């Protein structure tokens, strides 16, 4: 590639990048206006944004994977909240129950089994809470 071609290519990339950045700015403004309109109609724009992000995650990763990740997140949060409330995890049995809940499986479950895995995680979390006396 000659010097002139290199120069022209670089200028082209910069122009295209600037154009896309301007389009992104306009889209961001459009989204803000739409969410303001939703707020004015009595809707919670933050929840609308959360729902949109969740839909995008589901479209990218699949519903079962997102549900499994959300369930695991709930378990982590419940564990943290239990620890904040002074729950003692001193005994080996309690530690083993907790580790069994949060340990990664040796191999990822097959997509058809993920829904059952989510249900099992929820049941295991409830059993662990009962075992820990919460």
Q: For residue range 88-126, list pLDDT tens digits in order.
A: 444 445 556 666 666 655 565 555 566 666 677 777 777
Block means of pLDDT (10 residues each) for the chain, 134 residues, are 89 97 97 97 95 96 91 85 59 58 59 65 75 66
Neighbours of 68 (CB within 10 A): 19
CB-facing half-sphere around the CA of 56: CA atoms within 13 A: 6
132 and 86 Cβ atoms separated by less than 8 Å: no
Q: Where exactly are the structural domains of the chain?
A: 1-61, 63-134
Which has the closest alpha carbon to 124: 107, 106, 88, 99? 99
Q: Give me the pLDDT at residue 82, please.
A: 75
């Amino acid at each position: 590639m000659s010097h002139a071609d290199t120069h022209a290519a670089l200028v082209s990339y910069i122009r295209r990048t600037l154009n896309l950045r301007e389009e992104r700015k306009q889209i961001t403004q459009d989204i803000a206006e739409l969410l303001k309109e939703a707020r004015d109609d009595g809707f919670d724009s933050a929840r609308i944004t959360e729902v949109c992000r969740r839909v995008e995650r589901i479209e990218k990763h699949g519903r079962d994977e997102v549900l499994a990740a959300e369930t695991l997140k709930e378990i982590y949060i419940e564990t943290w909240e239990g620890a904040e409330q002074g729950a003692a995890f001193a005994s080996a049995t309690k530690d083993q129950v907790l580790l069994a809940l949060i340990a990664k499986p040796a191999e990822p479950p097959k997509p058809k089994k993920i829904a059952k895995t989510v249900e099992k995680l929820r049941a295991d979390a409830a059993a662990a809470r009962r075992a820990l006396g919460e």
